[in-house]
C-alpha cells in the first residue's frame, strides 16, 4: 500500500517530511524504524530506496527545500511536541 507524500529532489535523493500536520508521527515514519527499505514511485519511475532521518547538520538546508513547496511545515513544527524530521530517501 502506498502513501502519497509531498517530496522534493536533492541530487539523486528524494526528501519527505514526517509532519502529520504537527501531530503524532505518521504511521509510515514509524514503519521506517523497523524497515528502512522503501518502494518509491514518482509518475512512471519505480525504485527502491533506503530511508534515513536527515542529520542535524543537513536538516536546515533540507527543511528550506521542503518549505519551498508551499506546505506550512514551519506552522506544523510550531504546534508539534516533537522535532519533525526530514526523511532522506537514498536510491539503491
pLDDT at residue 1 greater than cutoff 90:
no
CB 32 within 8 A of CB 87: yes
| Residue 62 to residue 10: CA distance in whole angstroms | 8
- The answer to whether position 14 is within a domain reads yes
Residue 69's domain is classified under what CATH number?
2.30.110.10
* pTM over 0.85, yes/no: yes
| Residue 11 to residue 15: CA distance in whole angstroms | 10
- Residue 18: domain span: 8-91
- The answer to whether position 2 is within a domain reads no
**The pLDDT of residue 53:** 98
- The answer to whether position 20 is within a domain reads yes
| Residue 29 to residue 21: CA distance in whole angstroms | 13
Structure confidence by residue, pLDDT tens digits, 43-90: 999 999 999 999 999 999 999 999 999 999 999 999 999 999 999 999
**The pLDDT of residue 92:** 85
**The pLDDT of residue 73:** 98
CB 77 within 8 A of CB 23: no
Tell me how many domains the chain contains.
1
Amino acid at each position: 500500500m502506498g502513501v502519497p507524500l509531498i517530496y522534493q529532489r536533492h541530487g539523486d535523493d528524494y526528501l519527505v517530511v514526517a509532519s502529520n500536520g504537527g501531530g503524532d508521527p505518521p504511521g509510515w515514519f514509524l514503519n521506517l524504524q523497523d524497515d528502512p527499505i522503501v518502494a518509491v514511485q514518482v509518475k512512471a519511475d519505480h525504485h527502491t530506496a533506503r530511508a534515513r532521518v536527515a542529520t542535524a547538520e543537513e536538516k536546515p538546508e533540507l527543511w528550506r527545500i521542503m518549505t519551498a513547496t508551499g506546505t506550512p511545515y514551519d506552522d506544523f513544527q510550531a504546534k508539534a511536541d516533537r522535532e519533525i524530521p526530514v526523511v532522506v530517501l537514498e536510491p539503491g
